[in-house]
Amino acid sequence: MKPTVRYAAFLMAAAVLAAACGGSGSSDTVAAPEATIATSPPTSDITATAEDFLFTPDAWTAGAGSEVTFEFENQGSVTHTWIILSSPTESESELSEDLIVFETSAEAGEAVTITFTAPAAGTYQVICKVPGHFSAGMEGLLTVTGA
């Protein structure tokens, strides 16, 4: 056999051998891990202004389970509270601590911003628990929507 033919035969054998050693045909590439999408709870923003014996506005809406940013400004002459009750009450004498879902307060002339998680869907009574304020009409309604 001539050297050129031997060399060509050698190259062909090497090529066949290299193809045979390539494995089962699987790729050496690794799939990238699945991307995860971070989800955060929905948010709601509500505001209330307290004056002597009233809230403005006196109705608010938030999504169930949402993170609520609440801005409370007291333009009155005394401390006021903004309290969400789990069930309605008719008078201050019926008010008990176990009815309170959320509570904040602001001194006269103070503005506060606080975050809380909205309760389950429903309609909630909101009152000021400073003695005499609820009976004078300082109340409102928080409507929580969604499942």
List pLDDT tens digits, range 48-79.
Answer: 999 999 999 999 999 999 999 999 999 999 99
44 and 68 Cβ atoms separated by less than 8 Å: yes
Asked whether residue 29 is assigned to any structural domain, the reply reads no
Structural domain boundaries, residue 83: 43-145
Residue 31 lies in a domain: no
Q: What are the tokens at 79?
A: 């401390």
The pLDDT confidence band at residue 43, using thresholds 50, 70 and 90, is confident
Stated pTM of the model: 0.72
CATH number of the domain at 141, please: 2.60.40.420
**Cross-strand pairs, 59:** 141
With respect to residue 133, please indicate whether it lies within any of the assigned structural domains: yes
Residue 37 lies in a domain: no
Domain count, the chain: 1
Domain assignment of residue 126, yes or no: yes
